[in-house]
Amino acid sequence: MAEEAKAKGNAAFSSGDYAAAVKHFTDAIALSPTNHVLYSNRSAAHASLHNYADALQDAKKTVELKPDWSKGYSRLGAAHLGLRQNQDAISAYKKGLEIDPNNEGLKSGLADAQAAASRSRAAPPPSPFGDAFSGPEMWAKLTADPSTRMYLQQPDFVKMMQDIQKSPSNLNLYLKDQRVMQALGVLLNVKLREPNAGEDMEIPEGTSTSQPSAPERKVEKVVEEEKVVEPEPMEVTEENEAKERKAQAVKEKELGNAAYKKKEFEKAIEHYTKAMELDDEDISFLTNRAAVYLEMGKDTVENDECIKDCDKAVERGRELRSDYKMIARALTRKGTALAKTARCSKDYEPAIETFQKALTEHRNPDTLKKLNEAEKAKKDLEQQEYCDPKLAEEEREKGNEYFKQQKYPEAVKHYTESLRRDPKNPKAYSNRAACYTKLGALPEGLKDAEKCIELDPTFSKGYTRKGAVQFFMKEYDKALETYQEGLKHDPHNQELLDGVGRCVEQLNKASRGDLSPEELKERQAKAMQDPEIQNILSDPVMRQVLVDFQENPKAAQEHMKNPMVTSKIQKLVHAGIVQMR
């Protein structure tokens, strides 16, 4: 029951229904409270719903139940990271890497946690002056206030204010200049204490402390009454330059795309690299270059370069808060590269974990397909590693001994193990089919017999097993066909010949009308469930033939000259649907 609930949870998780997955995993945990995998799966489902506190509790339980399982620490690190507990996340990932140093999922998680911790440390403190020095508003305020307007005609003051505007921290360099203090008061709307006559005050160059003469006072008054020209706004060269660089980066990307389509991979890499140098805020340049390395990946060098680019794209994308689809694309490409590497390393787990991580970012059908392929490849590899024909034969012989002792369940167990060790052995399927027949598990016996024939169409035992199952299922016409097919490969096989005789005897009973009412009723009911019989009875032509048999014997004789009609009528007779008199 717990495995059934777990399977439902896995299916819900794969389809993106994380709330349902949590419910099914909870049901499974109630039935198997010490299964660490269930807590791990539920932790992943909680994390996908951004319920990181619940995910953390389940991850802790996972580690408690299975402290030597690396995936538990991966879940723990992800939950801490979701709660912005970056240092705890780093510790969890490092602990997991102590257990499994080559785990790509743990390495990627550790990189994400370290990047998050670095960002939180690097956040600059807010400026105590807010946006007082930002934009053209600063110059407008200084021009509008009479106490600072005259300073704008003084080049050294304008230069100081420009320096402060570029970096407010430069204010400390000019605090001794009374003009800067006066400007600060105007910008902050604070009235600063003016210096007394006896205090020292820095005199701007070109002015005098002596009392001006009458002509000078007149000139000064004229100057004050004239309209003061505001300083010209500074050219935003940096912004324009940034736009130009971005535009150039896009052109390089387009050139790279064109080269990639022509399979000029070296040129494509060169263009994507230039684009990255021009604009480091677009991770598509990295993912595109990774795609080129992936396409070139004839050896591990290109694959490694692809993985590095994808890791950089994910890290940079998280810093820039890029579209989750872009991050998912980078993870999918990384997973594809890891899957290619796994063909040699025989380790598909890193690829599977990376694809799963990509799916948590964005549910993409292509990524899901690649995940399924990686999981199948892993399963096939495990099967290949488990194969051992010698051990398989030993298990089959053990099964034969139990069969002779009529201990059929034990025999089935050993035949099944034999097939795990050697899934291409038709004899093991034949033996297990015989066991299932003895146990009355006829559908399972039929399936094994058909597999036996599929693996070796010339093996007569496969036909005798299949025919026997069909005979016990009272499908005598089908059993007859099976025995006759087997005789094509082994014409003198006595078991097949005996099978034909038994089937003919049963079929003739129906033709002669020798069946009891109960037998006839049972055979008719079984026949009506047969799709072939249903098709015959629903065929308008055959329905007319059956009517002619009852009402127009001469027309019926003409119908019987058609081999196909004759064959279908014979099937109906054998099934007990039609009786010939």
What is the rounded CA–CA span in Å between residue 65 and residue 59?
10
Give the pLDDT confidence of 516-536 residue by residue, as tens digits: 777 667 766 767 777 887 888
**Of residues 555 and 269, more confidently modeled:** 269
Domains of the chain: 1-119 (1.25.40.10), 136-188 (no CATH), 244-374 (1.25.40.10), 522-580 (1.10.260.100)
For the segment 376-389, the average pLDDT, to the nearest whole number, is 84
Q: Is the pLDDT of residue 556 over 80?
A: no
Q: Is the pLDDT of residue 574 over 90?
A: no
Looking at residue 467, its pLDDT comes to 95
Q: Is the pLDDT of residue 227 over 60?
A: no
Q: Is the pLDDT of residue 229 over 50?
A: no
Weakest-pLDDT range from 130-139, 183-192, 288-297, 327-336: 130-139
What is the rounded CA–CA span in Å between residue 23 and residue 514?
59
Looking at residue 435, its pLDDT comes to 94
> Which one-letter DSSP state was computed for residue 579?
-
Give the pLDDT confidence of 311-352 residue by residue, as tens digits: 999 999 988 888 889 999 999 999 999 998 888 878 889 999
Written as six digits, the tokens of 216 are: 């000078």
Give the pLDDT confidence of 461-488 residue by residue, as tens digits: 999 999 999 999 888 888 999 999 999 9
The model's pTM is: 0.39
**Of residues 447 and 176, more confidently modeled:** 447
- State the average pLDDT for the chain: 82
Looking at residue 121, its pLDDT comes to 67
- Locate all alpha helices (DSSP H) within 123-213, ordered by sequence: 137-144, 146-149, 155-166, 178-187
What is the chain's length? Answer: 581
Looking at residue 532, its pLDDT comes to 81
Residue partners of 146: CB distance under 8 A and separation at least 6: none
What is the rounded CA–CA span in Å between residue 568 and residue 532?
9
Weakest-pLDDT range from 27-36, 226-235, 384-393: 226-235
